[in-house]
Structure 1
Amino acid sequence: MSDDILLRLQRLEDIEAIRSLKHAYCYACDDNYNTEKLRQVFAPDAVWEAEGFGQYSGVEAICDFFDQVSKDIVAAAHLVMNDVIEIADDGLTAKGVWRNCQPVTTVEAGNYQAAWMLARYDEIYTKVEGRWLIKKLVASIQFTAPYKEGWADLWPQPC
């Protein structure tokens, strides 16, 4: 095979590996923010941030945050879609953008509340020893709306 075809094939395999990585992140979050599984998707020096939740640097700080958030968000379904993944020319770094439409259940003082959340993920990935990991994840939450009330008043933007 020509070098061009091999390079193109490697890029496609890398994109699919990053998709699988993102899916592993979502499944770990949806498994009560399973920190053992989350440790497997982040680089040791990763950064995770979201407005309203904070910024956490290093895989242990990220996992400590998720241990705490799992007490408030008792159920979640991260439904990611519309990914755009770009592999850098070095083949060792990449960027990705995702949309997340997420039903969540929170608990406060023993009262459960259902809500919808819409967010955008901007991410940077790094390839370490042949394996893709999340280097930086920035979640921009566009709205969190009570299930029964909907989001029209919170997100009235035209399509």
Structure 2
Amino acid sequence: MSATLPLSVEERLFRIEARNEISDLVARYAHGADRKNDPAMMQPLFHEDAVWSAEGFATFHGAPAIAAGLAGIAATQVLWSIHYMIAPYVELAKDARSARCHWYLWELSTMAEGDGQEDRWLGGWYDSIARYEDNLWKFASVKLDLRIQGVAMPPWSLRKAFDQ
């Protein structure tokens, strides 16, 4: 059995900061997603060789393709959304230069449906890998696993009638 030396204060601090920065990366992803997957907000979150995937939507390779592809999904399929990213769990690698991150998704959305639109709620989780390069944490991969969907009753659009 090999003995493990205790981490230095600097190493411990780096690990604490890494967890916070990865949690912030998740929050920035949600913020961009809720702005119709704004490419200017989304592209900087991904490494140039990153992969984004979600069954039923698409798989994109590379930061520019991810940003453009997600913006395309927002323009044609997910017309409005609010993402609740819940309980990010960060597992740092031994060298603390990469990490696995898992979090739950609860999303309210308005989806394109035929010639109209439909208000829905979605639930599932994300699994990702983040890498630390050039003093920044970015996603190397993001996989969305949607598990539940439902039609909102009453739809969000009816809420406006109650607010008047």
Shorter-chain TM-score range: 0.7 to 0.9
Distance in structure 2 (CA, Å) of the matches to 1:3 and 1:85 = 18
Find the counterpart in structure 2 of residue 117 from structure 1. 122
Distance in structure 2 (CA, Å) of the matches to 1:68 and 1:39 = 13
In structure 2, the gaps of 5 or more residues are 1-5, 155-164
What is the TM-score with the length of structure 1 in the denominator? Answer: 0.87
**2:59 maps to amino acid:** Q
2:95 to 90, 98, 116: 90
Deviation at 1:61, TM superposition (A): 1.6
Deviations 1:52-95 (A, max 9, x none): 01211111221221121112211111100121101111121111
1:77 to 71, 79, 82: 82
Distance in structure 2 (CA, Å) of the matches to 1:46 and 1:69 = 18
Q: How does 1:1-159 map to 2 (within 5 A)?
A: 3-71=7-75, 72-148=77-153
In structure 1, the gaps of 5 or more residues are 150-159
The number of aligned residues is 148
Identity %: 22
- Report which of the two structures shows the higher radius of gyration computed on alpha carbons: 2
Look up the SS of the partner of 1:89 in the other structure. Answer: coil
**1:92 maps to amino acid:** R
Deviation at 1:109, TM superposition (A): 4.5
Which of structure 1's runs of 4+ aligned residues deviate more than 3 A?
Answer: none
CA-based RMSD: 1.6
Distance in structure 1 (CA, Å) of the matches to 2:113 and 2:58 = 20
| Higher share in helix | 2
Distance in structure 1 (CA, Å) of the matches to 2:35 and 2:136 = 23
**1:54 maps to amino acid:** A
Deviation at 1:29, TM superposition (A): 0.6
Distance in structure 2 (CA, Å) of the matches to 1:65 and 1:39 = 10
